């Protein structure tokens, strides 16, 4: 029994690592997105800017969705902690001060609202049943519900966030009580059945540290909608109480954008806990009625009604759990929040989609089943989360910052606008027997909270390691979708903002930029990206091949997945063949077109470039193995010949003695690009230790050059690696050359780790992470880009999930040490 208690304490106790702040914390440096580029850059981009402004105005007049809104950018609020909810079923943000904020209930659409009516409240009564404390358990300032007060001292309360859990400790010792809340969301690697659930559990631990009796009530209130006043008022709501198996609580029925949604507030039924329920209060009132009930009685007034009729407009409800504690005793109260939005649509309304959790819980009345399931299973969830994180957290060779960063930056898997959907019968009948979508459905997540495109494949290439390591079948489902998109043609004509050309939305035999936008009809209308004709991009095809290689060859069994290779090979061959026909020179190398034709979409590459050329070499190398695995001898010989020619030409054209040239242009060729070894990085992540593509001595020299220039010579090495470095300073030729890309910095750090540059790799990534976490308050809305001073770009971004490539590198180092 003693061992069991000890193990339970290990699992549930506050970890040493994670975001740790007081509830009155203020970050020392406030940054914005209001970066103004140089006049030279503005002039070079002026046609694009003018086209964007015109299209933006037209879109707003017509009520169309804007995929990338550069007019009303979202400046980070510096408030966020660990979000709640599983993967692909909507998320709700939590601030470290206790607030509910940043809703993603409309699929893929973020609303940065903080809702005053969504609160936890504590009421403490002494042995004479006199109220000695009645307070909100959030210190975040509010604007409505004027009678509701926060009386807790934020300087005495501590928040710890280690995704997907958080802990808030309230020191209420002056009232004879210590209180803690442990928040758990079911985000569990390799557990697909639970990781999709739309819920969170709040475990309240109450300790009476006085020598007198205390009666403590924890209340939980919630309103309809997402804090969007206009839309929340246009909903029809109703509520009812429930008692179901091991749970009691209140259900709030409403709609979000005409999609049926149900919120449930639940309490785990336990002896010694009295549950009371509030079916309705007006969240726009002063809040006096429910507030006074709780203050005077420690519970809501008993109601004879079990339901509240329809209200057109906003409404809120609540639950309260009251318990009496004798001196020096403790009690635990379990609460949860569940939201059930089983069927979703997108604005074009071409199709209805069912969320993945409905496979188990059904399309009707799932909410109570999930409430009960939460209470039954959350102990096991915590054990599984603990086991997942333990090896990293207990590894003395990993720096403390890394232990926080690895898990907290994984927040984007759930809170990246993700949707996880089932397939209908018609779709399923078209799939082959090995297709993982038959079992695991369809998965998508956004490029960023503000860059509202699903599965942007140029960026997912970096981020995919997080899915591959933890939810590999979601990665495979995405890749099968991508394979199917390659052959798709969407003849709709669209005008590109970069040059004004009118092109087909999706050409056949090309890798799309994205799976579409939640503002249109994703999965049916890919390529919502409006800036360039992505059929001409030079990185997408290579990235598709490399992801295929990794997913096929890096398996748990160690044996390549031949069925997967067979399913993917034709698509790989198609895109490689198209590239050879349209973009490869006489030396077998891919050639950039003198436009931003790759993921650095404002940074022009001309001729052969280190970035695209390196990816192309790596893809050729991968194709040799893929063809060999299927016994396609003719293809293998073809790719071997091309690879042999291209590899020599790559070195001859780009190697300058200390690194690879940026490209073959006159003005930019000598720029030192932080991401020049991207192809080599990916091969190392695939377990390839040979230096058949990039010579070892050149890789090491290039990394040292990048470290000395892009890292150490930029912000004293405390901000990661700036993308471009030219003539002893930051390369200011474009917006992106002078940015630090957070995801690229993690990938670069991983490459250094692979190449025995352990100290350099950890400093490169650690300086950047510590700045974001400790100075800028960006732990849970990590941006795409940082500037040297004052600014960042694109909060809540996908690419930083590349931090999982650092874990791949660190695990490889450990394996080698054990062998030696």
Q: Same structural domain for residues 445 and 377?
A: no
Q: What is the pTM of this model?
A: 0.97
Single residue among 330, 359, 384 that ends a domain in this structure: 384
Q: How confident is the model at residue 761 (pLDDT cuts 50, 70, 90)?
A: very high
Query: Residues in the chain, how many?
Result: 820
Evaluate whether residue 602 is within a structural domain: no
DSSP, res 603? S
Q: What would the two tokens of residue 752 be? A: 């250094």
| Helix, strand or coil, per DSSP, at residue 230 | helix
Which among 571, 684, 548 has a CA at the least distance from the CA of 622? 548
pLDDT at 1 over 60: no
CA-to-CA distance for 464 and 88, rounded, in angstroms? 16
Crossing angle of helices 457-470 and 540-553, in 10° steps, is 10
In a domain, 680, yes or no: no
- Helices 2-12 and 367-393 cross at an angle (nearest 10°) of 90
Residue 300 and residue 449 in one domain: no
- Whether residue 337 sits in one domain with residue 227: yes
170 lies in some domain: yes
Token output for 75: 């400046």
Calculate the average pLDDT of the chain: 97
Residues 79 and 194 in one domain: yes
450: containing domain: 423-534
* 339 φ/ψ sector (left φ>0, alpha ψ -120 to 50, else beta): beta
Confidence of residue 119 (pLDDT cuts 50, 70, 90): very high
C-alpha to C-alpha distance for 108 and 88, rounded to whole angstroms: 9
Pull the structure tokens for residue 20.
């740790």
pLDDT at 251 over 80: yes
In a domain, 719, yes or no: no
- The confidence score (pLDDT) of residue 596 equals 94
Per-residue tokens: 308? 């509240």
Mean pLDDT of all residues in 727-756: 98
Q: Residues 289, 176: one domain?
A: yes
Helix or strand or coil: residue 207? strand
> Does any domain span residue 182?
yes
- According to DSSP, the residues that pair with 798 across neighbouring strands are none
Encode pLDDT of 33-90 as tens digits: 999 999 999 999 999 999 999 999 999 999 999 999 999 999 999 999 999 999 999 9
Point out the domain boundary residue: 534, 567, 583: 534
Helix 803-819 with 758-770: angle, nearest 10 deg:
150
Evaluate whether residue 789 is within a structural domain. no
Write the burial class of residue 426 (CB in 10 Å: 0-12 exposed, 13-18 middle, 19+ buried).
exposed
| Strands of 404-462, DSSP E | 419-421, 442-444
What lies within 8 Å, CB to CB, of 488 at 6+ separation is 506, 508, 512, 526
CA distance 474 to 192: 9
Report how far residue 674's alpha carbon sits from residue 748's, in angstroms, rounded to the nearest whole number: 7
**784-800: average pLDDT:** 98
Tell whether 364 and 485 lie within a shared domain: no
**Nearest in space to 164 (alpha carbons), one of 474, 457, 410, 472:** 410
What H or E segment, with its residue span, contains residue 55? helix 39-62
Check residue 418 and give its pLDDT.
99
With tokens 């037209």, the residue in question is 58
807 and 801 in contact (C-beta within 8 Å)?
no
The secondary structure element, H or E, covering residue 262 is: strand 259-268
Residue range 614-619: mean pLDDT, rounded: 99
Residue 772 DSSP class:
I
Express as a percent the part of the chain with pLDDT over 90: 96
Q: Does residue 64 sit within a domain? A: no
| Range from 137-146, 298-307, 786-795 carrying the lowest mean pLDDT | 298-307
Please give the full DSSP string across 308-339, using - where no structure is assigned: EEEEES--EEEEEEEEEE-TT-EEEEEEEEEE
Q: Got the DSSP string for 671-697?
A: -EETTTTHHHHHHHHTT----SSS-HH
Residue 157 lies in a domain: yes
Q: Which of 515, 534, 553 is the last residue of a domain?
A: 534
- The answer to whether residues 488 and 348 belong to one domain is no
- The tokens for 72 are 């009303």
To the nearest whole percent, how much of the chain has pLDDT over 70?
100
**Is residue 7 very low, low, confident or very high in pLDDT (cuts 50, 70, 90)?**
confident
Q: Which residue has the higher pLDDT, 308 or 477?
A: 477
Beta bridge partner(s), residue 566: none
User: What pLDDT band is residue 4 in, cutting at 50, 70 and 90?
Assistant: low
pLDDT computed for residue 175 by the predictor: 98
Statement to judge: residues 440 and 378 lie in one domain: no
Q: Does one domain contain both 132 and 217?
A: yes
pLDDT band at 339 (very low <50, low <70, confident <90, very high): very high
Within this chain, do residues 351 and 487 fall inside the same structural domain, yes or no? Answer: no
How far is C-alpha 614 from the chain's CA centre?
28
Nearest C-alpha neighbor of 51 from the set 495, 360, 421, 415:
495
Domains of the chain: total: 2
CA distances from 373 to 204, 235, 711 (A): 18, 29, 49
In a shared domain, residues 80 and 225: yes
Model confidence band, residue 305 (pLDDT cutoffs 50, 70, 90):
confident
Backbone angles phi, psi at 261, to 5 degrees: -140, 140
Which CATH number covers residue 18?
A: 2.70.98.40
- Do 358 and 433 fall within a single domain? no
pLDDT at 599 over 80: yes
Number of neighbours of residue 416 by Cβ within 10 angstroms:
28
How far is Cα 644 from Cα 620, in angstroms, rounded to an integer? 10
Cis peptide before 373 (omega within 30 of 0): no
Residue 309, pLDDT score: 83
Per-residue tokens: 779: 């732990």
CA 67 to chain CA centroid, Å, is: 18
Beta-bridge partner residues of 123: 134, 217
- The four Cα atoms 241, 242, 246, 247 give a dihedral, to 10 degrees, of -30
């Amino acid at each position: 029994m003693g061992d069991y208690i000890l193990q339970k304490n290990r699992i549930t106790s506050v970890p040493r690592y994670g975001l740790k702040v007081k509830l009155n914390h203020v970050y020392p440096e406030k940054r914005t997105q209001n970066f103004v580029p140089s006049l030279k850059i503005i002039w070079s981009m002026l046609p694009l800017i003018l086209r964007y402004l015109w299209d933006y105005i037209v879109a707003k007049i017509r009520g169309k969705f804007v995929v990338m809104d550069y007019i009303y950018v979202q400046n980070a609020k510096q408030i966020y902690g660990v979000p709640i909810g599983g993967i692909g079923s909507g998320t709700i943000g939590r601030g470290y001060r206790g607030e509910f904020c940043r809703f993603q209930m409309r699929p893929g659409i973020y609303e940065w609202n903080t809702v005053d009516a969504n609160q936890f409240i504590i009421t403490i009564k002494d042995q004479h049943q006199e109220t000695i404390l009645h307070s909100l358990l959030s210190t975040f300032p509010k604007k409505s519900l004027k009678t509701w007060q926060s009386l807790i001292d934020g300087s005495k309360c501590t928040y710890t966030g280690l995704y997907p859990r958080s802990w808030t400790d309230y020191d209420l010792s002056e009232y004879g009580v210590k209180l803690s809340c442990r928040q758990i969301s079911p985000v569990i690697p390799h557990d697909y059945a639970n990781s999709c659930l739309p819920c969170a559990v709040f475990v309240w631990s109450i300790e009476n540290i006085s020598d007198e009796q205390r009666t403590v009530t924890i209340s939980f209130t919630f309103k309809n909608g997402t804090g969007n006043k206009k839309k929340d008022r246009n909903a029809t709501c109703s509520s009812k109480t429930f008692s179901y198996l091991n749970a009691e609580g209140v259900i709030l029925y409403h709609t979000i954008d005409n999609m049926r949604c149900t919120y449930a507030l639940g309490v785990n039924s336990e002896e010694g806990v009295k549950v009371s329920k509030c079916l309705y209060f007006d969240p726009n009132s002063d809040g006096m009625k429910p507030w006074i009930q709780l203050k005077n009685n420690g519970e809501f007034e008993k109601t004879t009604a079990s339901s509240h009729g329809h209200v057109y407009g906003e409404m809120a409800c609540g639950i309260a759990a009251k318990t009496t504690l004798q001196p020096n005793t403790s009690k635990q109260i379990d609460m949860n929040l569940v939201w059930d939005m089983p069927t979703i649509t997108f604005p074009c309304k071409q199709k209805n989609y069912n969320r993945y959790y409905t496979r188990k819980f059904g399309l009707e009345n799932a909410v109570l089943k999930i409430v009960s399931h939460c209470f039954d299973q959350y102990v096991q969830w915590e054990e599984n989360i603990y086991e997942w994180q333990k090896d990293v957290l207990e590894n003395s060779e990993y720096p403390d910052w890394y232990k926080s960063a690895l898990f907290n930056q994984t927040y984007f898997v759930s809170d990246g606008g993700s949707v996880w959907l089932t397939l209908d019968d018609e779709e399923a009948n078209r799939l082959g027997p090995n297709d993982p979508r038959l079992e695991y459905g369809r998965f998508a997540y956004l490029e960023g909270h503000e860059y509202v495109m699903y599965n942007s494949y140029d960026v997912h290439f970096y981020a995919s390691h997080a899915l591959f390591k933890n939810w590999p079948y979601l990665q495979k489902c995405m890749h099968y979708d991508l394979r199917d998109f390659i052959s798709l043609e969407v003849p709709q004509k669209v005008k590109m903002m970069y040059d004004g050309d009118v092109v087909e939305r999706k050409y056949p035999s090309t890798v799309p930029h994205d799976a579409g936008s939640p503002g249109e009809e994703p999965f049916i209308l890919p390529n919502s990206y409006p800036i360039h004709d992505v059929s001409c991009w030079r990185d997408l095809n290579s990235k598709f091949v490399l992801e295929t290689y990794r997913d096929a060859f890096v398996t748990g069994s160690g044996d390549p997945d031949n069925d997967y290779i067979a399913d993917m090979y034709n698509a790989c061959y198609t895109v490689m063949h198209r590239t050879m026909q349209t973009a490869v020179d006489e030396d077998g190398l891919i050639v950039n077109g003198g436009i931003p034709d790759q993921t650095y979409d404002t940074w022009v590459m001309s001729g052969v470039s280190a970035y695209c050329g390196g990816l192309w070499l790596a893809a050729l190398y991968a194709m040799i193995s893929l063809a060999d695995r299927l016994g396609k001898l003719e293809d293998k010989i073809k790719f071997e010949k091309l690879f042999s020619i291209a590899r020599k030409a790559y070195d001859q054209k780009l190697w300058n003695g200390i690194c690879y040239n940026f490209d073959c242009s006159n003005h930019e060729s000598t720029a030192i690009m932080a991401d020049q070894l991207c192809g080599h990085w990916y091969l190392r992540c695939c377990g390839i230790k040979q230096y058949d593509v990039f010579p070892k001595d050149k890789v090491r020299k290039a990394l040292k050059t990048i470290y000395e220039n892009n890292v150490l010579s930029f912000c004293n090495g405390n901000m990661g690696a700036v993308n471009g470095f030219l003539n002893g300073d930051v390369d200011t030729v474009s917006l992106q050359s002078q940015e630090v890309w957070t995801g690229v910095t993690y990938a670069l750090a991983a490459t250094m780790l692979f190449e025995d540059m352990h100290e350099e790799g950890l400093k490169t990534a650690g300086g950047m992470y510590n700045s974001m976490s400790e100075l800028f308050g960006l732990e849970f809305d990590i941006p795409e880009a940082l500037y040297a001073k004052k600014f960042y770009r694109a909060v809540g971004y996908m690419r930083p999930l590349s931090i999982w490539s650092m874990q791949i590198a660190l695990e490889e180092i450990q394996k080698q040490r054990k062998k030696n």
